[in-house]
Amino acid sequence: MSDKRDDARILIYSHDSFGLGHLRRSRTIAHALVGANDKLSVLILSGSPIIGSFDFRARVDFVRVPGVIKLRNGEYTSLKLHLKIDQTMVLRGSIIQHTADVFDPDVFIVDKEPLGLRGEVRETLEMLKKRGTHLALGLRDVMDEPAQLRPEWERKNVMPALSELYDDIWVYGLPQFYDPMAGVDIPEVVRRKIVYTGYLRNWVPDVSSPSTLSKFDDPYFLVTAGGGGDGENLIDWVISAYECDRNIPLPSVIVFGPFMHSDIQERFQARIANLPNVEAITFDSHIEHLVSEAAGIVAMGGYNTFCDILSFDKPSLIVPRTKPRMEQYIRAARAKELGLLSMLQYDGRKDPTRMATALRQLTQQRRPSTVILPGLLDGLDNVNRLVMKSLTDRPLRQSALAVVNQKS
């Protein structure tokens, strides 16, 4: 037997403990889903240590699993707990599976990692598959260069999960922009599951921003390093440009990011104190306010920043990182090729005159909307349609209550 309920439940898994990309993407999707469906609830599973700094709409909540962080040697370690990484992963996996068991989602959306961090959602996927839960993998537009992605997925044994467990693979981008699985040998049964949704549109939230700018009210460049953990080179280069050239046409507001080390922020703030046309803040959970008011964006080019640039139609200068992944460079290079933005490659020297020149040119740059790409920002509408289709077309589910009744 199966119980009947008049609500729908979506569970989203976001593995990362470092950076803002996975969390912001999951939150954006969750808010769009409950905004379009008044009988739908979304629960986000996240390892982010700052998820509590964000506000969530009614019928959206989160469960935080113990955080982990990747070291420079590529190994993971527990972020806060004095536990070995294997113990931390067992704890995370247990919390994830128990949450999914009790919440009993109709749709389970996994962000980026098909089996979760170090395979931690495999058992949850298998459990929900038996119940008839619709399983969807959500991928950003660019994963990594094929030479890196192919052996990574082979090592993690991803392909059987894509073939046997997942019902859909949603790519939050466009095929004419980039194929995130380019260069990977994909079976036809997996190819048929791929749906390109378009990019995820961001908007200015109804709540006010906590940031108050004190130096200037004039148009400004917004310089953002995302989470900030790897944004030191970008921030240093921009500050150097203003130190070198006091006549850059517009001032800059710099957002360090919550994961930038406090010592580095203090050194930057000491330099900024001597610059009348540069101001900095650490973090704004409603950065969309700053983006919407900016005359241009200077950033590293992560997925969510790119969505901000497109959503708010801002001229932008991207300085992509190339380690540990080529993702940002691939995205920026393709977007530049299409005329959506400009790109400045870091050559190891951070010549301040190069950055100053790029900032001057940014004031003359055209907006992304001058390039016509049909469906570019249809991502949230299409994700909502895909979720509604899965709810309508799903077979009779074996709910958590039914399982309990069978056991009793």
CA 318 to the chain's CA centroid: 17
Provide the residue type at 230 as one letter.
D
Q: Which residue, 274, 343, 353, is CA-closest to 315?
A: 343
Which pLDDT score is estimated for 208? 66
Which pLDDT score is estimated for 227? 86
- 10 Å Cβ neighbour count for 86? 10
Which pLDDT score is estimated for 284? 86
Q: What is the pLDDT of residues 208-238, one digit of tens each?
A: 665 666 677 779 999 999 888 888 999 999 9
Residue 38 near residue 127 (C-beta atoms within 8 A): no
Report all structural domains of the chain as residue ranges with CATH numbers, in order of start: 8-201+377-402 (3.40.50.2000), 221-370 (3.40.50.2000)
Q: Which residue, 236, 250, 242, is CA-closest to 314?
A: 250
Six token digits for residue 340? 């959506």
Which pLDDT score is estimated for 214? 60
Which pLDDT score is estimated for 332? 98
Which pLDDT score is estimated for 64? 94
Q: Tens-digit pLDDT profile for the chain (408 aa)?
A: 345 677 899 999 998 766 678 899 999 999 999 999 999 999 999 988 888 888 999 999 999 999 887 766 667 788 888 899 899 999 999 999 999 999 999 999 999 999 999 999 999 999 999 999 999 999 999 999 999 999 999 999 999 999 999 999 999 999 999 999 988 999 999 999 999 999 999 999 887 665 666 677 779 999 999 888 888 999 999 999 999 999 999 999 999 998 899 999 999 999 999 999 999 999 888 899 999 999 999 999 999 999 999 999 999 999 999 888 899 999 999 999 999 999 999 888 899 999 999 999 999 999 999 999 999 999 999 999 999 999 987 655 544 444 434 443
Residue 93 near residue 86 (C-beta atoms within 8 A): no
Q: What is the pLDDT of residues 112-157, one digit of tens each?
A: 999 999 999 999 999 999 999 999 999 999 999 999 999 999 999 9
Residue 69 near residue 81 (C-beta atoms within 8 A): no
* pTM, rounded to two decimals: 0.92
Given strand 278-281, what is the order of strands in its sheet? 278-281, 252-255, 221-224, 296-299, 316-318, 342-343
